[in-house]
Amino acid sequence: MKRLQRIMTALCCLMLLATSVALADDGFSTSYTYTYDYWDDVQESPDAYRVVEMIDSTTLGLDSLGGKRLNRPQSLFVQGDDLYVCDTGNNRILQLRREGNSFSVSRIIDTVYDDKEDYDLADASYLQNKEYEKIVAEYNAANKDLLEIRAAQEAGFESTEFTSAISPLLTEAGIDIEATSAVEEFIAGLIEEKQQAVDEVSERMDAARQVAQEAADQAREAGCRIWQYELWTVGEDGNVSSPLNGPNDISVDEEGNIYVADTNSNRVIKMDKDCRLLLEFIKPLDATFDQSQAFLPRKIVTDVAGRVYALCQNINKGLVKYENDGTFSGFIGANTVSVSMAEYIWKRYFQTKEQRAQSASFVPTEYENIYIDKDGFIYATNIVYSEGDLLWDNAKPIRRLNSLGSDILIKNDRRPPIGDVQWVEGGPEATGPSRLVDITVMDDDLYVALDRIRGRLFGYDSQGVLLWAFGTRGNVEGAFTGAVSLEHMGRDLLVLDQFKNSITLFQTTEYGDTIYKATEAYLGGDYDRSADLWRDVLKMNANYPLAFRGIGRAVLRQNQYEDAMEWFKLAHDRENYGRAFKLYRKDWVEANVWWIILIVAAVLIIPLAVGRIRKMKWEVSEHERSKVRK
């Protein structure tokens, strides 16, 4: 009998092992998936996503399409079933069409065309703009001389600045440096002379700017849309064309118009679906834009009104905003600077000019990437910050900008959305905090951020609560060596690797799909279904705090306050627990208000009645005693 039991036990174990192997070997590549618990410890979880397709030059058949393989692509954009890839190293854009889980090249965009015949005004506009830039350079040089002389004067006779800037001029003028009054008179005259030169160039610069703006307006009114005349050529067939040069980003509107951040050509192009030029957005002539800086748009987004927001290299005033007619309308969403009082005092009062010049300036940093959601809010990521600012929410690596440029991202979790919450402080970059290089936002405000350090993806709900994290570095499927761009098609995720020159397509597992459905049901007001779906999630992952919170939020909406408190307690969600307790207390008070009134009345009235009776007894007793005495 015992032998038979052992045999049956062994058979059961073999069956369980075979079942687990069959479940694991389902034909999909898996990725390490995890979340964080209340104590910020990593908790492994079932995979929310799995790799279903790898897209590269071979699968796209690029060898037979001109022989150019993908070369350091930089960006992805999704429009319906079309996936646009900025193949930056090849100065082109690939438009891919999706069928099932396969992608094929539907066309290659490498040139923009224009059919306008009146180029005289465009040429004049271009020449006036170049003249303005030339005068700006002259002004910067003259102003630099003036500032150097002023700085030398303030630094004093013994300083290096004074010796290098003033001494040669004194020697040339035959003035002895020991003759203090003569030196001071000479410097005052020199400053006045330089100031007059600066003022004169400034007047010429203002006049040139006005002329350049008028020339641009005339060209625009005449319907001529080519501003950078030297970039265009007229072919033998009479077609006017301009090749793309380093396209770094792309956007496509509902009408099929294509916007390209043509970085190396210093422009943003708007063209129709046939690649005919509609508009060029170039460096603003406005005084708020530093004319000494090259116009290098790296990332762009467009809203439903056709406005363009460009993230430009070396511009730290925020996003450059253009109206739909190409007019520059200012900057929005400049990064704020976090500076401690100790840093400010040390730099302001205890460092020399040379030390201040060599140390980091207290200036905002530029964003890393941008994305615009269906409601017109711009999500921006930032990778330049101090590690110490992350957990205290001073760094804000993810921001949601409204039309005024204010950050309105909701953060209702214990930690702000920063990617990994554990890292080695002060160590090498590979062990440091996450650096989120891109972000994509789904229709229900769930968003996913991409970490280039460890090749991980972090999914958050609309409240900033971490749903899942997965991914790693390496050369296997589902791992990355140079993750640079992220997009979504429905719930599917696409990740572009610039070093592998490939795109990885991820699809949700049953676990990930159930999480999404539970969130959708809650946002749609179907709280019973949401609670049931979160219970299904718990069956697959019994240690998932968001499921406890999700069930708690669902039953809270159903006015089941006591049950909600229990679920929030399991999730360690103090804020929602307090909200549920407040409602529970209010409900309990309303249900027992008459008993409360009776008890309060009894507590107040009975002592008064007892006291009154005692007083009456005492008065009667005193009256009787007075009769006896008589």
Residue 223 has a pLDDT of 61
Measure the CA–CA gap between 295 and 318, rounded to whole angstroms.
Answer: 14
Which residues does 297 contact at the CB level (< 8 Å), separation at least 6?
Answer: 248, 249, 261, 262, 263, 266, 267, 268, 281, 310, 311, 312, 313, 320
DSSP E strand stretches across 275-359: 277-281, 297-302, 308-312, 319-322, 328-332
Q: Which letter does DSSP use for residue 525 in this model?
A: T
Placement of tokens 């609670």 in the chain: 531
State the sign of the Cα–Cα–Cα–Cα dihedral 396, 401, 407, 413.
Answer: negative
Give the separation between CA 76 and CA 494, rounded to whole angstroms: 8
Q: Which two tokens stand for residue 433?
A: 């905090």
Question: 10 Å Cβ neighbour count for 142?
Answer: 19
Residue 422 contacts by C-beta under 8 Å, 6 or more apart in sequence? 40, 42
φ, ψ at 112 (rounded to 5°): -110, 140
DSSP per residue, 64-128 = GTTS----S--EEEEETTEEEEEEGGGTEEEEEEEETTEEEEEEEE-EEEE-----HHHHHHHHH
Q: What is the pLDDT of residue 371?
A: 98
Please give the pLDDT value at position 358.
Answer: 54
E strands, 296-443, are 297-302, 308-312, 319-322, 328-332, 369-372, 378-381, 398-401, 436-441
How distant is the alpha carbon of residue 252 from its chain centre?
20
- The predicted pLDDT at position 145 comes to 85
Residue 432, SS3? coil
- 246, two tokens: 């380093």
pLDDT at residue 179, rounded to an integer: 72
Q: How far apart are CA 461 and CA 224, in angstroms?
A: 46
Per-block mean pLDDT, blocks of 10 residues, the chain (630 long): 47 41 38 84 92 95 86 97 97 96 95 74 79 90 86 76 77 75 82 90 91 82 63 74 94 95 95 92 86 91 95 91 92 73 61 60 76 96 86 89 93 91 82 94 95 95 94 91 96 97 97 94 88 94 90 88 90 87 86 81 80 77 70
Structure tokens at 465: 């609560």
**Residues 547, 565 contacting (CB under 8 angstroms):** no
With 0-12 / 13-18 / 19 or more C-beta atoms within 10 angstroms meaning exposed / middle / buried, residue 444 is middle
* Per-residue tokens: 176: 């002895």
| Cβ atoms of 33 and 45 closer than 8 Å | yes
* CA pseudo-torsion sign 385, 386, 391, 392: negative
At 575 the pLDDT is 85
Determine the residue type at 526: D
| Cα–Cα distance for residue pair 190/334, rounded to 1 Å | 39
Token pair 């002329």 in the structure block, residue: 211
33 CB neighbour count, 10 Å cutoff: 22
Residue found under tokens 């936002």: 441
d(CA 125, CA 218): 8
CA distance 92 to 88: 6
Determine the Cα–Cα distance for residues 301 and 303; give it in Å rounded to an integer: 7
Query: CA 541, CA 343: separation in Å to the nearest integer?
Result: 46
Provide the β-strand partners of residue 96.
Answer: 83, 105
In angstroms, the CA 479 to CA 472 distance is 5
Q: Which residues contact 174 (CB under 8 A, 6 or more apart)?
A: none
125 contacts 218 by C-beta, under 8 angstroms: yes
d(CA 526, CA 151): 69
CA distance 493 to 510: 15
